[in-house]
Structure 1
Amino acid sequence: MTLDDLRVFVAVCRAGSLSAVARDLGCTQSAVSQHVKRLERETGVRLVERRPRGVVPTQAGRVLEAAAAEGIAGLDLAIRRLRDLVDGESGSVRVATGATTVRHFMADAVVAFRERHPRISLEFRTESSSSACFDALAGSELDLAWITLGPPVRGIEQRAVVDLPWVLAVRDGDPLAGRPCAEAADLTGLRLIRLPPNSTSAAHLDAACEELGVRFGYDTGAADWDTALLLAELGLGRAVVPALPGLRAGGDLGALRLVPLPSLRPLSVGWAVRQWDALTPSARAFADLVAECCRRGASSGRTDVPTGPR
Structure 2
Amino acid sequence: MTLDDLRVFVAVCEAGSLSAVARDHACSQSAVSQHVKRLERETGLTLVERRPRGVAPTGAGRILYRAASAGLAGLGDALRQLDDLRRGAGGTVRIATGATTVRHFMATGVAVFRDRHPDAVLQFVTAGSSRRCLETVRSHGADLAWVTVGDQVEDVEQRASCELPWVLAVRADDPLAHRASIAPADLAAIRHIELPPHSTSRRHLEDQLDRHGVRLASTTSVADWDTALLLAELGLGHAVLPALPGWGGAEGAVRLLPITGLPPLRAGWAARQWDALSPLAVEFAETVVAHLPAAPATTGGAP
Q: TM-score scaled to structure 1, two decimals?
A: 0.83
Partner of 1:287: 285
Q: Distance in 1 between matches of 2:11 and 2:206?
A: 32
Question: 1:158 Cα deviation (Å)?
Answer: 0.8
Question: Contact 2:170 / 2:233 at 8 angstroms: preserved in 1?
Answer: yes
Question: Contact 2:81 / 2:91 at 8 angstroms: preserved in 1?
Answer: no
Question: Contact 2:169 / 2:241 at 8 angstroms: preserved in 1?
Answer: yes
Matched, 1:179 2:179: yes
Question: 1:180 Cα deviation (Å)?
Answer: 1.5
Q: Distance in 2 between matches of 1:159 and 1:62?
A: 29
Q: Distance in 2 between matches of 1:49 and 1:163?
A: 49
Pick aligned residue for 2:298 from 266, 282, 305: 305
How has the CA–CA distance of structure 1 residues 147 and 23 changed in structure 2, closer, same or farther, with 3 Å as cutoff? farther
Question: 1:7 Cα deviation (Å)?
Answer: 4.5
Paired positions, count: 297
Matched, 1:142 2:135: no
Partner of 1:47: 48
Q: What residue identity is the alignment partner of 2:297?
A: D
Q: Distance in 2 between matches of 1:9 and 1:232?
A: 50
Q: Distance in 2 between matches of 1:125 and 1:32?
A: 34
Question: 1:185 Cα deviation (Å)?
Answer: 1.0
Q: 132-141 or 150-159: which moved more?
A: 132-141
How has the CA–CA distance of structure 1 residues 38 and 200 changed in structure 2, closer, same or farther, with 3 Å as cutoff? farther
- Aligned partner of residue 226 in structure 1, secondary structure: helix
Question: 1:76 Cα deviation (Å)?
Answer: 3.5
Partner of 2:78: 78
How has the CA–CA distance of structure 1 residues 233 and 32 changed in structure 2, closer, same or farther, with 3 Å as cutoff? farther
Question: 1:62 Cα deviation (Å)?
Answer: 2.5
Q: Distance in 2 between matches of 1:25 and 1:274?
A: 28
Matched, 1:154 2:154: yes
Aligned alpha-carbon RMSD (Å): 3.1
Partner of 1:275: 273
Question: 1:144 Cα deviation (Å)?
Answer: 0.6
Question: 1:268 Cα deviation (Å)?
Answer: 0.8
Question: 1:142 Cα deviation (Å)?
Answer: 1.7
Q: TM-score scaled to structure 2, two decimals?
A: 0.85
Question: Contact 1:157 / 1:273 at 8 angstroms: preserved in 2?
Answer: yes
How has the CA–CA distance of structure 1 residues 9 and 226 changed in structure 2, closer, same or farther, with 3 Å as cutoff? farther
Give identity over the alignment, percent: 53
Question: Contact 2:11 / 2:21 at 8 angstroms: preserved in 1?
Answer: no
Question: 1:47 Cα deviation (Å)?
Answer: 3.2
Matched, 1:202 2:202: yes
* Equivalences for residues 57-96 of structure 1 within 5 A: 57-86=57-86, 90-96=90-96
Question: Contact 2:188 / 2:216 at 8 angstroms: preserved in 1?
Answer: yes
* Equivalences for residues 122-137 of structure 1 within 5 A: 122-137=122-137
- Structure 1: gaps (5+ residues): none
Structure exhibiting the larger radius of gyration computed from Cα positions: 2
Q: Map Cα deviations across residues 140-165 of structure 1 (whole Å, 9 max, x no partner).
A: 35211111111111111111111111
Question: Contact 2:156 / 2:273 at 8 angstroms: preserved in 1?
Answer: yes
Q: Distance in 2 between matches of 1:125 and 1:167?
A: 29
How has the CA–CA distance of structure 1 residues 51 and 122 changed in structure 2, closer, same or farther, with 3 Å as cutoff? farther
How has the CA–CA distance of structure 1 residues 99 and 174 changed in structure 2, closer, same or farther, with 3 Å as cutoff? same
Question: Contact 2:255 / 2:298 at 8 angstroms: preserved in 1?
Answer: no
Question: Contact 2:159 / 2:268 at 8 angstroms: preserved in 1?
Answer: yes
Q: Distance in 2 between matches of 1:32 and 1:132?
A: 34
* Equivalences for residues 247-258 of structure 1 within 5 A: 247-248=247-248, 250=250, 252=251, 254-258=252-256
Partner of 1:121: 121
Q: Distance in 1 between matches of 2:287 and 2:24?
A: 35
Question: Contact 1:18 / 1:32 at 8 angstroms: preserved in 2?
Answer: no
- Structure 2: gaps (5+ residues): none
Q: Map Cα deviations across residues 78-122 of structure 1 (whole Å, 9 max, x no partner).
A: 334444554566022110000110000000011111111111121
Question: Contact 2:74 / 2:140 at 8 angstroms: preserved in 1?
Answer: no
